[in-house]
Every structure is written in C-alpha cells, then in structure tokens.
Amino acid sequence: MTSAAKSNARWIAALCAMAVFAFACLWAFLHLGGWLIVEDPLSTAYTIVVLSGRMPTRALEAARIYRQNFAPRVWVSQPASAAEQLNQMHIAYLGEEFYNQKVLIAEGVPPDAIHVLERPAVNTEEEVDEIARECRRDDAHTVIVVTSQPHTRRVREIWKRRVGSDPRLIVRYVTDDSFDRGHWWRTSQDAFDVIREMLGLANAWAGFPAQPEPHS
C-alpha cells in the first residue's frame, strides 16, 4: 500500500470514529431524560415522605400510595424559607408544607397520620439527612420517598451515598408528571430539570463539594 493510500485509510478511520462518537453523543442526549427516571416496586414501609417542590403533585401521589395501605403515615418535608424574617415583620407566612398537608387531608389522609419533618432543608441532601435522622429515631427501616420523575435518580444516588441500605429507600415518582422524557429539550422547564439533575448528580459523584449557604 502506498503512503497516500495509508494516509487516506487513516483519514477514513478517523472520520468513522468521529461519526461513531457523534452518534453516541446524540443517542445519549436524546435518552438523557429517560435515564434520569428510576423507580422501585412498592412494598410495606414505615412512612411515605413528600419531598418539597412541585406542589401539589407530590402530595397527591403520596396520598394515592397511602390509600393503597403501603404505610400508615405520611411525612412532609419542610423547605427552608423566609418565615422567621417575615414573622418578625408581623407578616403571616404559610409555607409549602402547610399546603401539602391540606392536599393530603383533602385526599383522605387523616391529620393525625401527617407529620412535618422537624428541620427545614435547603436542598435534597439535607432532606435525605433529615428523613434518615427521623427514621433512625423511630427505629424505622423502610421509607417510601415521593418526588418528580427527573429527580428520582438523584434522590437514589444521594440516599446511597449519605444513608446506605438502612433505612431502605423506595423511590417513587409522580405518575402523571408532565415531564416529557423523550423530548425533554423542547420545553424550558424540562431542559432546566435535566441540567439541574445532572449538576446535582455530578456533585454527588464528586462527594458533595458544592454546599448550600448556611441557614440564616
């Protein structure tokens, strides 16, 4: 084979490799929304937990699971808020946890079966830590956590790294979530969800180097 032929063969091989790489990147991009979504089979648990955000859909899903008798109680995560500052200004503030309780009650969950987690959380890591703390306090070994579809993989990863296998996590997503896993790039909300979840996963894989600002 002449040197020119060898050079052409190398160029063809390089172009083929680039085409394969580009196709793999495109495939990963198109399927990223679906990859973020995971779910565990339902089984009996100590409690169902409503993570903060996307009100009222997560509370509605938790109520559906409660009505199927998989757990006798529902915990509601309490997001960090400006409630203390507003109260100092004599401005009444009703947080997300208040309305999630109202949704649960409206959907058939008895008020005495609902518990708001004690410590406000800035992010998912703090929510997971607080859920695990209260589970260990109550000697609970299985918990169902309800969140939105694209958030499920990150919840599972954070739980694995910060809690482990006891208490055992059952992660469930909102069944009628509007997230379009197959075309997530078409709407700004879905695209923002994917970017945020990938950044959050990267932070978890790196050992949580990015931390929220201290609570005020």
CATH no. for residue 166? 3.40.50.620
φ, ψ dihedrals at 109, nearest 5°:
-85, 125
Going by C-alpha positions, the residue among 159, 136, 180 that lies closest to residue 47 is: 136
| Within a domain: 20 | no
Any idea which residue has 């679906």 for tokens? 34
Amino acid, res. 184: W
pLDDT of residue 87: 77
* DSSP 8-state secondary structure symbol assigned to residue 186: G
| Within a domain: 9 | no
The answer to which of 93-102, 128-137, 162-171, 198-207 has the lowest mean pLDDT is 93-102
| Within a domain: 95 | yes
Q: Which domain range does residue 108 map to?
A: 36-205
Q: In the predicted model, is pLDDT for residue 152 greater than 70?
A: yes
Question: % helix / strand / coil in the chain, to the nearest 5?
Answer: 50, 10, 35
| Within a domain: 212 | no
Q: In the predicted model, is pLDDT for residue 151 greater than 80?
A: yes
Specify the higher pLDDT residue, 31 or 149.
149
* DSSP 8-state secondary structure symbol assigned to residue 29: H
pLDDT of residue 7: 67
Percent of the chain exceeding pLDDT 70 equals 92
> pLDDT tens for residues 54-102?
999 999 999 999 999 999 999 999 998 877 787 778 888 888 999 999 9
Q: How many CB atoms lie within 10 A of CB 97?
A: 21
pLDDT of residue 94: 83
Tell me the pTM.
Answer: 0.89
Q: In the predicted model, is pLDDT for residue 216 greater than 60?
A: no
Task: Count Cα neighbours of 142 within 13 Å in the Cβ-side half-sphere.
Answer: 11
Q: In the predicted model, is pLDDT for residue 214 greater than 70?
A: no
Task: Please give the tally of structural domains in the chain.
Answer: 1
The mean predicted confidence, pLDDT, of the chain is 91
| Within a domain: 121 | yes
> pLDDT tens for residues 135-145?
999 999 999 99
| Within a domain: 213 | no
How many helices and strands in the chain, by DSSP H and E?
A: 7, 5
Bridge-based pairing of strands 74-76 and 142-147 is: unpaired
Mean of pLDDT values over 189-198: 96
Mean of pLDDT values over 148-155: 98
The answer to which of 25-34, 177-186, 200-209 has the lowest mean pLDDT is 25-34
pLDDT of residue 1: 60
Percent of the chain exceeding pLDDT 90 equals 75
Q: Please, which pLDDT band fits residue 17 given cuts at 50, 70 and 90?
A: confident
pLDDT of residue 149: 98
| Within a domain: 216 | no
* DSSP 8-state secondary structure symbol assigned to residue 118: S
